[in-house]
Structure 1
């Protein structure tokens, strides 16, 4: 299937999840992440913030645990420049007040926080609708993450978070797509490359 076909199908599948099923899947993803990836105390991590009405993976489960159990880790969240098509990451803390952009994505206010250079990230947790068995992902189609990932260190771990297991393949992957190193689902961690 193409990205457009998969995008349509998995948006519907995600919205069809019951609240209890969605919560269980999100909790499973959080547990899989913490049990599978040793967190270094000085890590710098970027994590997306979920759009409430789209049933994205609830990354607050991961963020709050990082703040509680790994207080020395630098946790950052992206702020998108919708005109330029770019993302910048800013450090977030339990005191950060978030503002929703026009797409309903919560973002830290960039004027009040520390911007983290892309070259410093050790781990990036990526949003997606679905992924395939070779680590390609289907997002919302804006290309923000692909552009951002090309500016990160080659050894930075690119970890997708998915409510669903992979499809066999994505037909229209192109050379500008940046593949995942891992993808975490509620019951499994998929490794690529």
Structure 2
């Protein structure tokens, strides 16, 4: 069985095998696919995680810089460990950052933004399956956040690796992603269409 805890452990180990150069190359390819398929309009707001470099995460700074060039607003999360919630802040090229808990870059003195103003979210993950369900780090921050978004907001996962067939212990309240972008392709899902296949590649 492909259980979240086992996948989290396995894919954390697999990720540590990527070199910094491989991460950067994969990040560029993911960014190219994102802008080819999902390029937002000027004035829209894209929410993204910022990379924890020691976790070998996708370098989303490459996406952020291109979003700024398109006059797209960029929001990032700040985690609140006490209640496992997140607040969200707009960032610009002038924003100052500090390294917070878990090595996450957090903005200093940035402007807060509500979930209702977010058009698209780039979601971190360790693994995902053909139904669009993800395995994160296990704290539940993103599960709570995604449930607060407007239904029209797009939820796009970013992954270094292709999907597993099925995550066996998906919770009834787990929200499926709309798509996941990998360096090789985009996997799209239809969480609201029970007759559609779980995932397709393009």
Check if 1:165 corresponds to 2:172: no
1:91 paired residue number: 90
1:13 paired residue number: 14
1:178 paired residue number: 175
| Structure 1 runs not aligned, ≥5 long | none
Structure with the larger RCO, 1 or 2 (CA within 8 Å, 6+ apart): 1
1:102 paired residue number: 101
Deviation, structure 1 residue 40: 1.2
Number of equivalenced pairs? 189
Query: How far apart, CA to CA, are the structure 2 residues paired with 1:76 and 1:22?
Result: 22
Structure 1 SS opposite 2:39: coil
| Structure 2 runs not aligned, ≥5 long | 191-202
Structure 2 SS opposite 1:16: coil
Structure 2 SS opposite 1:108: strand
Q: How does 1:22-33 map to 2 (within 5 A)?
A: 22-33=23-34
Deviation, structure 1 residue 103: 0.8
User: Which structure 1 residue ranges, 4+ long, deviate > 6 Å from structure 2?
Assistant: none
Deviation, structure 1 residue 20: 2.5
**TM-score using structure 2 length:** 0.91
2:62 paired residue number: 61
